[in-house]
């Protein structure tokens, strides 16, 4: 038996949330999706609020993963402790609130989701995600396991994919907001894509007003990011997993406008 798992790239701002609410249900129906993981750390452009998380869940997400902007909105902290379906990176310090992984019961069997974060250029006080992944995998007994590797460097994401190849069902990268064209199955049966892309303003620089990004590179003083206006898009990938072996059969990247 196979099941289709949908992984959705970073939801950015109001446009991203609205586009997700308007389109996720149809995307799931057309692709016979059994389980959906959405990265939501940019729902507030920087960070996420409890209300925004609830909007993403109501749109059809089973699990929300986060990243380096997890703590940008103070009010999310108690929400993380109260809801095991939203995951902050597991390699944050142990004193940080919330959960870094979860195991979720579904009709097709249990599925584990890991949230991991890279360390290259991300100014966060985190443990080594490779060692933390080892610790989590040693503690769970689940055939279907997927991981969101939130990282800046494509090399760090790819390294994690190969490091977990054969030990998890799928690894996908988030954070850089540009969908990559390398989706496929690694030699030992793990589905992988370097970056899912972004769910947010279609005409933007990584979700931000292009004028602001240009001004930054022209030397203007820094200021709070302003999300771009206009139509949205959703970038994501479908991982088809074998429930008997836990291996990935196919990976298909999708881009919806």
Handedness of CA 77, 85, 248, 233 (dihedral sign): negative
**Which band of pLDDT confidence, cut at 50, 70 and 90, is reported for residue 140?**
very high
Q: Using CA atoms, how far apart are residues 54 and 64, in angstroms rounded to an integer?
A: 10
Residue 11: give the domain boundaries.
Answer: 2-256
Q: What is the pLDDT of residues 209-242, one digit of tens each?
A: 999 999 989 999 988 888 889 999 999 999 999 9
24, 60 Cβ separation under 8 angstroms? yes
The whole-angstrom separation of Cα 67 and Cα 76 is 13
Share of the chain above pLDDT 90, in %: 90
Residue 171 structure tokens: 């690894």
Annotated catalytic residues are 69
Look at residue 172 and give its three-state secondary structure. Answer: strand
Find where tokens 């429930």 sit.
Answer: 243
Tens digit of each residue's pLDDT (9 = 90 or more) over 25-61: 999 999 999 999 999 999 999 999 999 999 999 999 9
Q: What are phi and psi of 151, to 5 degrees?
A: -155, 155
Number of domains in the chain: 1
pLDDT at 242: 98
Cβ neighbors of 67 (< 8 A, separation 6 or more) are 10, 39, 41, 89, 115, 117, 150, 174, 175
d(CA 206, CA 25): 24
pLDDT recorded at residue 257: 96
Q: pTM of whole model > 0.85? A: yes
- In this prediction, residues 117-125 reach a mean pLDDT of 82
What average pLDDT is seen over the chain?
A: 96
* Mean of pLDDT values over 80-93: 96
Least confident stretch, 27-31, 67-71, 119-123: 119-123
Structure tokens at 83: 């809801």
Give the CATH number for residue 35: 3.60.21.10
Count of positions (residues) in the chain: 257
| Numbers of helices and strands, H then E, in the chain | 6, 14
Q: Is 9 exposed, middle or buried (0-12, 13-18, 19+ CB in 10 A)?
A: buried
Q: How confident is the model at residue 158 (pLDDT cuts 50, 70, 90)?
A: very high
């Amino acid at each position: 038996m196979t099941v289709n798992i949908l992984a959705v790239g970073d939801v950015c701002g109001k446009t991203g949330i609205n586009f997700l609410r308007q389109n996720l249900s149809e995307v799931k129906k057309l692709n016979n999706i059994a389980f959906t993981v959405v990265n939501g750390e940019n729902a507030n452009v920087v960070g996420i609020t409890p209300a925004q998380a609830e909007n993403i869940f109501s749109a059809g997400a089973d699990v929300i993963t986060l990243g380096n902007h997890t703590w940008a909105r103070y009010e999310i902290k108690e929400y993380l402790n109260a809801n095991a379906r939203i995951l902050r990176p597991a390699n944050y310090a142990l004193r940080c609130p919330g959960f870094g992984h979860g195991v979720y019961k579904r009709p097709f069997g249990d599925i584990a989701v890991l949230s991991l974060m890279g360390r290259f250029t991300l100014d966060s006080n985190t443990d080594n995600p490779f060692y933390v992944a080892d610790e989590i995998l040693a503690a769970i007994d689940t055939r279907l396991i997927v991981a969101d590797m939130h990282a800046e460097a494509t090399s760090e994401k790819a390294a994690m994919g190969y490091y977990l190849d054969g030990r998890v069902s799928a690894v996908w990268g988030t954070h850089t907001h540009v969908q990559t064209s390398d989706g496929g199955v690694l030699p030992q049966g793990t589905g992988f894509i370097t970056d899912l892309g972004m769910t947010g303003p279609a005409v933007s620089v990584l979700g931000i007003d292009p004028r602001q990004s240009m001004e930054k590179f022209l030397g203007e003083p820094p200021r709070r990011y302003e999300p771009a206006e206009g139509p949205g898009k959703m970038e994501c990938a479908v991982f088809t997993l074998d429930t008997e072996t836990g291996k990935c059969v196919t990976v298909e990247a999708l881009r919806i406008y």
